[in-house]
């Protein structure tokens, strides 16, 4: 042992070795998992609060206030019902539709409403349709709704409803 060099160690006034470093023990897997879970929970809570706040802002501030009710004009006062002569329309696959219509005019339209525009719209809408699509009540209702919209546009809202008086397919 005499041949080995000696090193002198110095200590600080508090008796600790200045070269010694202290490290804390690495956190266990349980502690690390809890720290990650706590961070995730905080992030989820922040996200939930942000979503709730965004929905609240939309509902209270940005959502249109009864835009559909304000945009829809009030239903006009009913006037005369004008009955039109039935017409025959060609359907798909050689079938035919005998269609009779009555037009519900508004009070300001008067009693002299020509049915030419309504018949033209009906021919355009029903021509080429299949019997199967019109045989079901929901198919008829969809076609009627489309016809009412088209007729209201063509008559500039002077006619606002249509009644089928004949609807016979062959």
pTM (two decimals) = 0.56
Looking at the domain covering 78-169, what would its CATH class be?
alpha beta
Diameter of the chain measured on Cα atoms: 132
Closest among 112, 120, 126, 110 to 154, alpha carbons compared: 120
Q: How far apart are CA 37 and CA 123, in angstroms?
A: 67
Residue-wise pLDDT for 54-72, tens only, equals 888 887 777 666 655 556 6
| Alpha carbon of residue 148 to chain centroid | 24
Residue-wise pLDDT for 1-58, tens only, equals 556 655 555 555 655 655 555 555 555 555 555 556 677 888 899 999 999 888 888 8
- Phi/psi region, residue 41 (left: phi>0; alpha: psi -120 to 50; beta: rest), is alpha
Q: In the chain, pLDDT over 70 holds for what percent of residues?
A: 72
Q: How many residues does the chain have?
A: 170
Q: CA quadruple 120, 125, 126, 129: dihedral positive or negative? A: positive
């Amino acid at each position: 042992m005499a041949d080995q060099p000696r090193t002198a160690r110095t200590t600080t006034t508090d008796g600790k070795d200045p070269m010694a470093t202290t490290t804390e023990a690495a956190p266990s897997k349980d502690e690390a998992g809890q720290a990650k879970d706590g961070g995730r929970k905080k992030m989820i809570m922040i996200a939930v609060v942000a979503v709730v706040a965004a929905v609240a802002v939309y509902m209270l501030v940005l959502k249109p206030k009864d835009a559909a009710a304000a945009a829809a004009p009030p239903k006009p006062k009913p006037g005369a019902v004008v009955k039109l002569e039935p017409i025959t329309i060609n359907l798909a696959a050689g079938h035919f539709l005998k269609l009779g219509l009555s037009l519900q005019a508004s009070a300001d339209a008067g009693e002299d409403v020509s049915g030419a525009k309504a018949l033209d719209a009906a021919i355009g809408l029903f021509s080429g349709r299949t019997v199967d699509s019109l045989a079901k009540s929901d198919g008829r209702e969809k076609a009627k709704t489309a016809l009412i919209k088209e007729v209201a546009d063509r008559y500039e809202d002077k006619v606002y409803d249509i009644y089928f008086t004949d609807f016979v397919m062959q």
